[in-house]
Structure formats: structure tokens, C-alpha cells
Structure 1
């Protein structure tokens, strides 16, 4: 495995070359404008070329760079439309695409995990990978008892590569920021780094997957593949194949997209109370739709334990916002640490700030669209907006950060699906206290 350092150096060089390429194209565009080129046309060409380079490089890499690209793919719906189109196709490819690991590396890793005779456990083993992920790839095989299985194998050197990529991306965050308008790059990279360690040991992933599979066994709407065996760098589970959610987003009918959106919403909002767990990696590559209409859920490397279900403070805050109870909302937000120390903010301002986030719960059926989530991003991202000023007075306590990110990621996928979702009904089933009448206290 002496070529791993060479691979890492190559990865770093490719990442470091991104801003230089963008700068070069910007200079060339400036030159064309001096000679009479159309400004809008040149800007569109620059955006398309920048997107092409960014995601071509990320698509060649594994580890943190691809993880970063997958995270961006979820938030694609919030990117302003004038910038979004060049990114959309390239982002979608990152959800399930990476160069294959050679079979020699697969053999090396499985020998480390299961011993030299690992092949004897299988009746068949397809050497061509069926899918790839940020730190591993999946092979289809037949278990010794005849069952079709999926064998997920971690890339050799994945741990070092992950750390190296995220360090490099962190250093480049300011230069990468203009490539993805409407998104905060640095906090995204910081959170990926925080979650990184949890995904490197596949035994943890196997434990979470077993728990999810047990809870959803026999469920008419959700399928979680059962785990057959696991090791630190490999996990074997039953083979289940569905239509990728990215395909439904791209070419599904209205009914198919609405069906997928409602199933995804039900899974997200029910899991904390049903399983006391939260699937914390919401991007379309981790979901599919089976022929029988069920939602297929994959990849349990990032999971959060919620012993008490959905945090009570978040449920109560949403309830107070829905009911217009500004006094109760402000009291709770201050006590829970959502308002920065010394910030002067009126309850009416907070109610107005949160109103768009409660919109989907105020009607029987809400139409999630890209334009809706773009408006939310513009509203809080425009420094001239009053809502942006309110946002700077607020704080998201660390204990709620993951739930908030996963919820927003899920809503972004609903917008990618352009789904009509009965979200109020779904949330009321699992957090009924959010809609129960309650006399105001302030």
C-alpha cells in the first residue's frame, strides 16, 4: 500500500488547483469583456466552467472531498436559479459516483477484516463495484447460503484521506465560497469534520443499521436491509435494490415525486420517536424507491441517538411559533440558549423570522419547491434584510445543531422532489403535542 501517500499528494494538488483554475477563467472573462464580449453571457460561461471543474475534481476524489460534494448536493435546491443549473447535473452525479477501487485493494481490505479465507464465505463475488460512497464502495455477492448480499468495503487509507481533504477544503473555504452562492461553506466543512470519526468504524454503522432494521421490520412503507456480518472496515447486508431517489427527482412523474416526498418526510419525523435514532446523512444517494412502493433507506454511517425522541425544546418552539405565542417563544429561546447574550430582540421580530419555517405546518398539504427554499436562503442570507439582522442575534446551541441540519437537509430534498407533502398530518402523528391547544402563559 506504498502508493497511498502518492494518492494523497495527488488529491491535495487537485484540490489546491481549483481556485487557480477559477481565477484564470475570471481573468480570461475580464479580457473578453474589455474586447466587447457580452457580460451576462461571459458570466454564465464562467459559472458553468467553474461548476464543471469543481465537481469534476470532487468526483475523482473520495473521503472528505466527496463527502463535501454530497453535502452540497442536498442544498442544491437553495442555490439561486441563475447559478443553479450548471451545478445541478454535476452535483447529482456526486451522490453515488466515484472511481472504483481496484480488486487488489478490495482483496487486501477484506483479508484484513475477515482473514485470508474470506472468499470461502461467498458462493459468488462480483469484482465490479455496484456502487460507491464517500469512504467505501459496495460489491454485490452471494452469501454461502445462497442469499444475495451487499459487501461494503472501506477504501484503504480512507481515514488519512478524509482528514487531509477536510483540512485542505477548510483552508480553501473562502475561495470555494463564490463557487456555491447562497451557502455557508465553512460551517459545513466544520460539521463534516465533527462527524467524520463516527463513520470510519463500520461496526458502529452495522449496529445502527441493525437497530433501524429491527424497528422497521415488516413496515409497509420503509425497508432497511438486514445486516449479516460486520468488521471495522467492512459490513455485509442483504442485497436490496430500488430506483435511486436522484432518478425520481430527475425524471419521476408528479405522483412518483409526491409519493417519495411523503415517504421521506414520514421516515425523518417518525424515526426519533419510533427508534430513538435519527438518520443523519440526508442526501438522495442514501434513498431509493422499491418496486412495491416502499422507501429504501441505506448508509447508516451517520446516525444520532435521541433517547427522548425529538428534542422537546424544538417541538415547543415550533408550537409557540405556530400559535403566535411570542412571549412564551422568547422565554423558551432565551432559557435554551437560542438568543445571543446581550441581544436586544422583540418577540414580534422572532415570530416574523420563524414564520416561513412554520408555513409547511399551517396547511393540510404543502408544495415544497426550489423557489420556496431559495426564498428562505435569500431572506436570511441577504445582509440588507431585516431577517438577516435578526438571525445574527440568534444562536443555534450545539446540542440542536445536528437535528436542525438533518431537518433542513430533508426539507431540501423535498424541494428537489417538488413534492406535495401532508407534513402537518405527518408531524401531528409523531409530535402531537405540537398541535395541542395550550393556554398562553405570557
Structure 2
């Protein structure tokens, strides 16, 4: 048996064991069915053990489990504090850490992708990975420019052998864990997230396609004073070489940054995500802290363009227009627009004022000139939207998320999660006014 099937069997066994362990603890600690919010009915000790096992296993895996763990970890700020606090560090580790490949395997991939004389492309190559992601790991190197123009510090991303098969296998297993994730954070529907991840596996496994996206971002933000995109130096299907960037990872700023650093990082993240569709025709679709650095010159450095949304016409205009209508209290206009976009059934009756009451609290960050995102605010919103006893929860059962908005929705939620981890204060409304089509200033 080869190493890859053996590793796949190990992954499957670990993932399959998670629901069993969770079920045992649930029966032991509850003796009744979970209803409503988990914090109402599950003891802190049981939640803590479940979170510990879940993120411990996800942290050992590559492929779909690692990617899902990264995506889930940005929702850490919405977890109840008694659950989030002990495992904040473990969650953050998911965003930047995974077991490394042996040097011999790394060399084999480089030889396959860059040729047997791959070392001639580098003045230096560090066999110890500097970082790991869901389907590959990054090594620091010094790239020798082929035109004789000198050398540059480089990041060399190398895809794990068998990453495609592992990704498919892990995602198939994780699709069975929806009940457990809902118990940790009820209301988080994992199914659309898994469907979206599956649809983008082919794109994320193609490093040449990622290079194309990164070049488009780099061109759009060339010489920008606030956003920095490293240049692509070389690309093959399984190896991507880009400029190395020095900076403080957002995970470190979340953990120990100053208030000024956290506020500035949040402001720059908002600018990036709102401006990119207009400037690059793309949306960076992997908003977890491991993909951002605060550079010494104050710019936000952005890496990892494997997951992007292609938006050649920019952000859909109805998003901004409907947000403006909601802030101005125009309930009928909001419902009419939601029906046109497919968020509300064209035939089923719905209470327009209830819809407005459902939406308005979500727009609090842009209802004022400045707003500070906090974990407490996000937990309150999560409670409002997730509790079956909440009017917002009941109304949400009448709303639909059109497929064309799925990725935008995920990126928005992920970005808000990071902003709440940062507890960042910034003039978010003015950023929307600058970059969001159709968003009219609030009188």
C-alpha cells in the first residue's frame, strides 16, 4: 500500500470518529435533544471537549479538512466567549500551520515541475517550509531572475502530492459533520460552503490559474499606497514562485497588536475587498488572517489567490442599492429589490417591515460614520439570527440565497469575522460610498 492511500484511510478514520465522539459526549452530558442555541443546553465542559477534538483533528489534516478548518476559524469571533477563549490559539494555528512535507518529496515535486536542474533557478532554497496551507506549503528562497537582472527573495508554493484526491475525499467526509458544527455554532449552514469548495477544487489546484489571478491583482494595485500584491516570478501547475513579503501576520496582530494596528488592518481589509471587483474584476475569496500581512511601510500585503470570484462587471449594483434603501427605512423598496434578485419568492407573501427589521441590525457598521467591530457584536447578531425563538430566525426561513451571491456572501461573512477578531474601528460607511455601486449616502 502506498503512502497516499494509507494517509487517505487515516484521514477518513479520524473524520469518521468525530461524530461518534461528539454523540457520546452529547448523550452523556445532555440526555435530551439539542434545541435552540447550543449555549442554552450544552454544558461548557462538553462544548470545550468537542471543540478541542474537532480542531485538533482538523489541524492534523491537509486537503479539504484543513481548508474547511481555515474557513470555519474566521467564525471564531461568533462563538460564546467561554468556548472561544480556550481554543482561540488552536483556531489561529489552523490558519497558518500544517504538518510539513519531507525535503525529498519537495525536491521531487520541484524536479517534476521546474526540471531536473531546478536548483539553477535559485541562489538559495530553504528546505524547511515557512508556512503551510490547505493544499500546499511555502518555502523561502532566493530566485535568480532568468534575464540576468539579479536575485529576489521569493516564496515558493509547492502543492502536496495527491492533494486533489485528498481534497475530494476530505470534503466528502466533512459533508457528514453538519450536525456537529451546528451544535458548536447553530445557524452556520455548512452545506453551501462545502458545495462551493467542491466547485472550486479544480481552480485551486491549478497554480497557473492562480498566477493569472495574482497578476491581475498586482496590475490593478501597482504602486498603490495602501495595498501590496507580490509579483509572480514563475508558475507551473503545481509550483508557484512569487515575491517574498515581510510583514506582521494578521493572526499576530489579532493576538497581540496595538489598537492602532488592529484598526488600520481592518480598514485596509475593507478597502481591499470592496475595491477589488471594480479595480481588478476579481474578489479575493479566502479572507482568513493567514493571507494578510501588515507591512513595515503600512500597506496591507495580500497573498494566496487560489480562491477568487471572477466579477468582470464589478460588485452587483443591487447590493449597494438595497443597502441604501434599508438604511433609509424604505421597506417596500427593499422587498421589491430582494424579489427581483431571487432572495424572496416572487409569489409568497412576506412582511416588508419584518424584512427591514431583519436587515437593519446587519447594517449597523455602515449606519454610522465610524464603527468598531467586536466579538460581542457578532455574538449578538449570531444569537439573533440563529435562535429558533428569534423573529429573525423565523423570517430567515422565508429567504433564499441565490447561487450567484453565494461566494460574495461567504467572503462578506468571513471578512466580518476577521474584523471582529481584530476588533477594528474604521469609517466603513465612507469606504462603501467610494467602492460599492448603487450605495447612496445616508441623509
Fold equivalence (TM over 0.5): yes
- Cα deviations by residue, 1:124-146 (Å, 9 ceiling, x for unpaired): 11000000000000001111232
The yes-or-no answer on 1:147 pairing with 2:152 is: yes
C-alpha spacing 1:179/1:166, structure 2 compared with 1 (3 Å) = same
Cα shift readout 1:275-310 (whole Å, capped 9, x = no counterpart): 111001111111111111111101000011111111
Q: Secondary structure at the match of 2:397?
A: helix
CA distance in 2, matches of 1:71, 1:273: 25
Aligned to 1:221: 226
Unpaired segments ≥5 residues, structure 2: 32-38, 145-149
Partners of 1:346 and 1:23 lie apart in 2 by 39
- Within a 5 Å distance, the mapping from 1:276-425 to structure 2 comes to 276-425=281-430
Alpha-carbon distance in 2 for matches of 1:432, 1:114: 43
Gaps of 5+ in 1: 32-38
Stretch deviating more after TM superposition (73-82 or 125-134): 73-82
Deviation at 1:400, TM superposition (A): 1.1
Moved more, 332-341 or 197-206: 332-341
1:49-198, aligned counterparts within 5 Å? 49-144=49-144, 145-198=150-203
Q: Contact 1:83/1:181 (CA < 8 Å) preserved in 2?
A: no
1:35 matched residue in structure 2: none
Match in the other structure for 1:36? none
**Secondary structure at 1:304's aligned position in 2?**
strand
Q: Which moved more, 1:380-389 or 1:201-210?
A: 380-389
Name the structure 2 match of 1:34. Answer: none
**Match in the other structure for 2:35:** none
Q: In the aligned structure 1, how far is the partner of 2:262 from the partner of 2:441?
A: 31
Going from structure 1 to structure 2, the CA distance change for 1:150 and 1:426 (only over 3 Å counts) comes to same
Contact 2:317 2:436 in 1 (8 A): no
Q: What is the deviation of 1:378?
A: 1.3
Deviation at 1:44, TM superposition (A): 2.7
**In 2, distance between residues paired with 1:366 and 1:281?**
23
CA RMSD of superposed structures (Å): 2.2
- Closer, same or farther in 2 for the Cα pair 1:185/1:372, shift >3 Å? same
| Contact 1:51/1:90, CA 8 A, preserved across alignment | no
Q: TM-score, normalised by structure 1?
A: 0.93
1:252 corresponds, among 254, 257, 262, to 257
CA 1:20 to 1:220, structure 2 compared with 1: closer, same or farther past 3 Å?
same
Is 1:79–1:182's contact at 8 Å kept on the other side of the alignment? Answer: no
Shift of 1:428: 1.0
| TM-score where L is the length of structure 2 | 0.92
* Structure 1 residue matching 2:14: 3-state secondary structure: helix
Q: In the alignment, does 2:250 pair up with 1:269? A: no
Distance 1:64 1:29, change over 3 A: same
Deviation at 1:153, TM superposition (A): 0.3
SS in 1 for 2:112: helix
Distance of 1:56 and 1:431 partners within structure 2: 39
| Mapped contact 1:244–1:289 kept (Cα < 8 A) | yes
Report how far residue 404 of structure 1 moved. 1.6
Distance in structure 2 (CA, Å) of the matches to 1:433 and 1:402? 20
In structure 2, the CA distance between the partners of 1:26 and 1:376, relative to structure 1 (3 Å rule), is: closer
Whole-angstrom distance in 2 between the partners of 1:157 and 1:137: 13
Q: Secondary structure at the match of 2:213?
A: helix
Contact map agreement 2:277 2:283 (CA 8 A) in 1: yes
Residue number in structure 2 paired with 1:207? 212
Contact map agreement 1:19 1:176 (CA 8 A) in 2: no
Q: Distance in 1 between matches of 2:139 and 2:442?
A: 52
How many residue pairs were aligned? Answer: 431
